[in-house]
Amino acid sequence: MRFPSLPKPLFGVSKDWKQCSKERLVIHIDMNAYFASVEQSCRPFLKGKPVLVSADPYGTPKGARSVAATASYEARKYGIHAGMPLFEALRLCPHAIVVEGDARKYSSISLRILEILETFTDLVEPYSIDEAFIDVTSTAHLFGGKVAVACEIKRMVRREFGITCSIGIGPNKLIAKMASNMEKPDGLVVIEKKDLPEAIWNLPVDAIPGISRRRKFKMNLMGIKTIRDLALHPRENLRRAFGIVGEYLQQCAWGRDDSPVVSISKIPDPKSISAASTFFKNTSDSELILSALFYLSEKAAVRLRKHHLRATVVGTWIRYEDFTSKGKTKKLSAEVESFEKIYHHAKEIFKENYLPPERPVRLVGVYLSGLSTALFEESFLFPEIQKREAVDRVLFEARQKFGIQAIFRARSLIGKQQVMID
Ligand SMILES: [Mg+2]
């Protein structure tokens, strides 16, 4: 069979022109009440009953509060939601059955679900333990169209694992995700490009992924209640209130998102990851050096996440004004992926080896190796950590769009002003 040749671009369009001009078909798959559904499917006596899954149902001796990582739909009827403290959930529904979560089981089923998705396209991007994006722009027609693909995925997941999922179809990842959120459980929602942005404009503003309760509250005070309000709000105001994230979220309110679906097998795994910065002026100020390490830890963590990796070796190195260098690495007993942990180790290495600085420092760097693939974040059974990660993710998305320097946490501000970014 001969394929018709692609039309030539009229003007000097960037090499991405083919992608830009082509309408995409993105599907978002979201498992419903995932951990609870898996438990109900594995243990039939739990079917139809209110089930709560907790990482730590019996509480820790230190008295930390246990929370429900997931509640089955039967439990949700009582007003229970993921992240709710167990004692509160049990007050709302005393006969709920609490089950200890099994991270390994959920991960392995997730991997098998990804395999199912790979039968439809090789562009499969896991988004979290129970969510994934697939891009079926060039394959949907082989299966009878996008809706047929979605129905087949639902059928296969239900047959193999006895669980249901909500599916959203849209012209990009953002819209596909918002569509899958519209109907739960077992939903199927299609949003066409021609219906944007109106199709999402009547939704409350926090229907946009990444708008936390606090951000929503702040937006409501500014008179922004719906996505329409956000789309039409003066850009400068948003920029003042939320920085670059505000601008990013306004783009979302127009339904715009050009981030690609990236299959993890397509990303070449690096052997190591490093990030370094040169100071504008050589310095012996350890606070300043630490703040640069903070910034570099974040930068290294972003790269780590991009490649779905974890590290077991953290290192830092320093170049003095006379261009001599000194580097130290530390082998860790557990894998790290969050920037907080990376910074924690980088700081320790620095304090143990470089204090006080022998000579003024010209450059510092953070180094990660001993990398292994981590499809799912280790914390998925802990909703409180997940919430923080959701914020991290928005920062990550905004950075992808506007560049790494777009957002800084307060702690790394000193670093920003006084270091040169490599
Ligand atoms: Mg889900």
Supply the DSSP string of 1-29, one letter for each residue: -PPPPPPPPSS---TTHHHHHSPP-EEEE
- Given 39, 125, 131, 377, which residue is catalytic? 131
Spatial separation of the C-alpha atoms in residues 381 and 99, rounded to whole Å: 12
Please check the confidence at residue 399 and state whether its pLDDT lies above 70.
no
Confidence of residue 213 (pLDDT cuts 50, 70, 90): confident
pLDDT tens-digit map of 300-321: 988 888 787 889 999 999 989 8
Please check the confidence at residue 60 and state whether its pLDDT lies above 60.
no
Please check the confidence at residue 145 and state whether its pLDDT lies above 50.
yes
| d(CA 129, ligand 1 centre) in Å | 8
- pLDDT computed for residue 395 by the predictor: 67
| d(CA 275, ligand 1 centre) in Å | 34
Please check the confidence at residue 139 and state whether its pLDDT lies above 90.
yes
| d(CA 116, ligand 1 centre) in Å | 17
pLDDT tens-digit map of 147-177: 999 999 999 999 999 999 999 999 999 999 9
pTM over 0.75: no
- Is 131 annotated as catalytic? yes
- pLDDT computed for residue 402 by the predictor: 61
In the structure encoding, which two tokens stand for residue 158, read together?
């239900």
Confidence of residue 266 (pLDDT cuts 50, 70, 90): low
User: Long-range contacts made by residues 118-123, C-beta under 8 angstroms, separation at least 24?
Assistant: 120/149, 120/152, 120/153, 122/263, 122/265, 122/266, 123/261, 123/262, 123/263
Q: Which domains does the chain have, with CATH numbers?
A: 23-32+106-195 (3.30.70.270), 34-104 (3.40.1170.60), 203-253 (1.10.150.20), 268-421 (3.30.1490.100)
Spatial separation of the C-alpha atoms in residues 270 and 370, rounded to whole Å: 10
